Chain A
């Protein structure tokens, strides 16, 4: 069974631009969560999607948004990029919601904002 895939793996953008990252969950998984990983702030929860609906959102500005499609694939979008948005963005999928469902992480997308 294929694991969680994220595209692109690396991305370089300039301040003010916007970016879209993609996450394909493991087949059959319906819940997708996104995390931002930086050296300073560590791993922080961005949001979680289940059945095409955002179920939970972390403490991030509205520039960060996402969506989930009917096939459970998810995208996250960051508008008006800032230097501080440079990070590794991790996506994780699980069969269903709840901590008793193991989250499987993708390799991440490394975003660099210049």
Chain B
């Protein structure tokens, strides 16, 4: 079974600074996808970034980037130039290439302070 672990229940960062959220996962699969989702206080989940396991290059979306270490089964999210609107729960998720059930970590509550 696939498990996703987020070891940081809460984090905070000053506005304009950089923060890294950690995620590790366990799987015997070789083809899979990893995701970071953001759930702001209004509760609507939004996809932040996605990484395909077979791609070596780390995904980047504007201020968001990942550090994907396949051998270590690690998938951390770096948020640069943090903004107040980045305050949210962040969930790391895993999905096998051949299935559609997404497995989520417990989440990290990120607070960006002015």
| Residues of A in contact with B (beta carbons under 8 Å apart) | 3, 31, 33, 35, 42-45, 48, 50, 55-56, 58, 88, 90, 92, 97-100, 102-108
A28 to B65, CA, bound (A): 30
Contacts A102-B47, A107-B43; is A33 near B100 (CB within 8 Å)? Answer: yes
Given A33-B100, A98-B100, A99-B95: A42 and B106 interface contact (C-beta under 8 Å) = yes
Over the window 87-114 of chain B, the binary record of Cβ atoms lying under 8 Å from chain A Cβ atoms (1 yes, 0 no) is: 0000100011101111111110000000
For chain B, which range describes its interface: under 10, 10 to 19, 20 to 34, or 35 or more residues? 20 to 34
In the assembled complex, 7 residue pairs joining A and B whose CB atoms fall closer than 8 Å, in A order, are A42-B104, A43-B91, A45-B102, A56-B101, A98-B100, A105-B46, A107-B43
Chain B, residue nearest A43 (CB): B104
Q: What residues on A are CB-neighbors of B47 within 8 Å?
A: 102-104
A59 to chain B, nearest CB (A): 10
Q: Which of A50, A58, A90, A102 contacts B101 (CB 8 A)?
A: A58
Q: Which residue of A lies closest to B102 (CB)?
A: A45
